[in-house]
Amino acid sequence: MSPREKMINLMYIVLTAMLALNVSSDVLNGFSQVQDGLTRSNRTIMARNQALYAQLQAFNEKNPEKGKVWLDKATNVVGETDKLYNYIDSLKLLIVKTADGEDGDVNNIRSRDNTEAASIVMLPPKETGRPGNGKILRERIDQYRQFVTSFLDDPEKRKNLEAALSTVPPKARGEEMSKKNWEETMFDNMPCIAAVTLLTKLQNDVRYAEGEVLNQMLTNVDLGDLRVNLVNAFVVPDSRIVMRGTRYKAQIVLAAIDTTQRPIVYINGHQLSNNTGIYEVGTAKAGTYDYSGWIEVLGRDGSVTKRDFKSSYTVIDPLATISATMMNVLYAGINNPISIAVPGVPQGSISATMTNGSLTKSGDGWIAHPSKVGAECVITVTAEMDGQRTNVGSTTFRVRKLPDPTPFITYKDANGQTLRYKGGKPFAKAQLLAASGLDAAIDDEILNIDFKVVSFECVFVDAMGDYHPEQSNGSQFSERQKERIRRLQHGKRFFIRGVKATGPDGITREISPIEVIIN
């Protein structure tokens, strides 16, 4: 192409670009009308929010005990909202001044079609490396959104506010997600009047969020109050069962009564001596006792409301529950877990002693350690009630020697699980040779106590029927025993006898033999 043709084509390109950038005056006028409408709407919302805040202030003056906490929260919300609202105002003014000069006026924008001012203010060049006002605004909106939604319990209201204050950039048609961030989609090449209108819309959303939160707080002021259409008297005792020697205590209240106005309580014809509604009486002997009365409360109109009540309580003799955790007897020489409980008395107020041994506290339980077999031991329990220590019961236990344990060979199966071979069935020779020796324990699902094997012997029978005993190396198989085991064929058997084991009680005993069958 000739230079002249190239120049003409370039001029067409420039003209097309200028036409594309040219914004219709009708569109600009439309933005101006929307801007004016949003400004009026903001004034209306601000007036409503100020009225809500004034109601919270008025309620706080009448009832600071209930209202102060919500007024403080509302003041915090109003302060944060004003900060964000004023910051957006400053951005609007800065954009207009960039477009019209230092004498620019947000309410009278001359360069409404200026598409550079918003980008200059909100989107600085990336090479500067500094965050622009658009990014700062987005971050402040995100913080404000999280702040105000934290005061809302209704998930639907939270969802609406999160949508109104969302900074997720809108997607272009056909895109899965926007390729621009929020500030770029809002202010990049945006006419001055359009950018100001968008910021005014954002101020509208901020004031809307403020109003929703203030309205929720005004509702929450009375949220804890009960609204009832039925009023009855109730007796609330600490317990209907009381030990002899202690005191019975019950609280008599009128349902939904205001704590700032105490009712008058009459019991068995006599007015209660305190205004707390607590009825307290001594208990001299066991039995069931009834009492009745009425409650009088003064209404707002000066009338007296009367409600009758009746109740009863039971006095029982001191009682303690003492039981052996493992079984009904105690075993000498070992620690026996014991449970001790006194109904209505915390564990920290219970103490206990024991004869024929020692008794110590262990967590929420006790450990009994009897010393002499055949003699009885007595556990005596005392409890502190109403500042006095009372004997609440005792229980006698028999003391027995630990039963004999069962001998077994510890081995591991193909899955690596540890098992116990107790004889009487085929046992793989490889697993037998891999075992170290003989163990013993009581594992009858009641007791679980390990014993230490001291010695044992293996008895082998040859083809002639002769017996060949081989002595162990303590609890381990001796080399002679292992050699004999290696020679045994499938189906052959030998016996382990003379097993001696020592338990935690220090007693060494000879226990039952086992028969080993080679597989």
CA-to-CA distance for 394 and 410, rounded, in angstroms? 43
Tokens 């205001």 belong to residue: 258
pLDDT at 265 over 60: yes
Query: What is the mean pLDDT of the segment spanning 171-200?
Result: 77
Give the ranges where 221-342 is alpha helix by DSSP (H). Answer: none
Q: Which of residues 396 and 287 earns the better pLDDT score? A: 396
Which H or E element spans position 368?
A: strand 365-370
CA-to-CA distance for 396 and 376, rounded, in angstroms? 7
Q: How confident is the model at residue 5 (pLDDT cuts 50, 70, 90)?
A: low
Please report, in angstroms and rounded to a whole number, the separation of the first and last CA atoms in the chain.
102
pLDDT at 413 over 80: yes
Q: How confident is the model at residue 16 (pLDDT cuts 50, 70, 90)?
A: very low
pLDDT at 2 over 60: no
Question: What pLDDT is attached to residue 50?
Answer: 93
In this structure, of 201-210, 312-321, 377-386, the range with the lowest mean pLDDT score is: 312-321
Structure-block tokens of residue 62 = 């009448």
Q: Which residues are 440's β-sheet partners?
A: 407, 451
Q: What is the pLDDT of residues 57-96, one digit of tens each?
A: 988 888 888 888 889 999 999 999 999 999 999 998 998 8
Query: What is the mean pLDDT of the segment spanning 173-181?
Result: 62
Q: What is the pLDDT of residues 118-161, one digit of tens each?
A: 888 888 776 555 778 888 999 999 999 999 999 988 889 889 88
CA-to-CA distance for 106 and 355, rounded, in angstroms? 95
Please, are residues 264 and 271 in contact by the beta-carbon 8 Å criterion? yes
Whole-Å CA distances, 272 to 181, 247, 262: 72, 17, 12
Please, are residues 36 and 106 in contact by the beta-carbon 8 Å criterion? no
Question: What pLDDT is attached to residue 319?
Answer: 61
Q: What is the pLDDT of residues 450-489, one digit of tens each?
A: 999 999 999 998 888 889 999 999 999 999 999 999 989 8
CA-to-CA distance for 519 and 516, rounded, in angstroms? 9
Encoded amino acid at 311, one letter: S
- How does the average pLDDT of the chain come out, rounded? 82
Please, are residues 174 and 103 in contact by the beta-carbon 8 Å criterion? no
Handedness of CA 405, 406, 412, 418 (dihedral sign): negative
Q: How confident is the model at residue 248 (pLDDT cuts 50, 70, 90)?
A: confident
CA-to-CA distance for 125 and 425, rounded, in angstroms? 87
Q: What phi, psi does 385 have (nearest 5°)?
A: -135, 125
Question: Which residue in 402, 399, 337 sits closest to 370, CA to CA?
Answer: 399
Question: Which residue in 517, 417, 436 sits closest to 477, CA to CA?
Answer: 436
Q: What is the pLDDT of residues 436-450, one digit of tens each?
A: 899 999 887 677 889
Whole-Å CA distances, 214 to 44, 204, 330: 15, 15, 68
Parallel, antiparallel or unpaired: strands 493-502 and 508-511? antiparallel
The segment with the largest mean pLDDT, out of 106-110, 338-342, 358-362, is 358-362
pLDDT at 519 over 50: yes
Parallel, antiparallel or unpaired: strands 508-511 and 448-461? unpaired
Query: What is the mean pLDDT of the segment spanning 430-441?
Result: 91
pLDDT at 15 over 50: no
Please, are residues 253 and 236 in contact by the beta-carbon 8 Å criterion? yes
Q: Which of residues 374 and 513 earns the better pLDDT score? A: 513
pLDDT at 406 over 80: yes
Structure-block tokens of residue 66 = 């209930």
Question: What pLDDT is attached to residue 332?
Answer: 87
Question: Which residue in 167, 210, 198 sits closest to 81, CA to CA?
Answer: 210
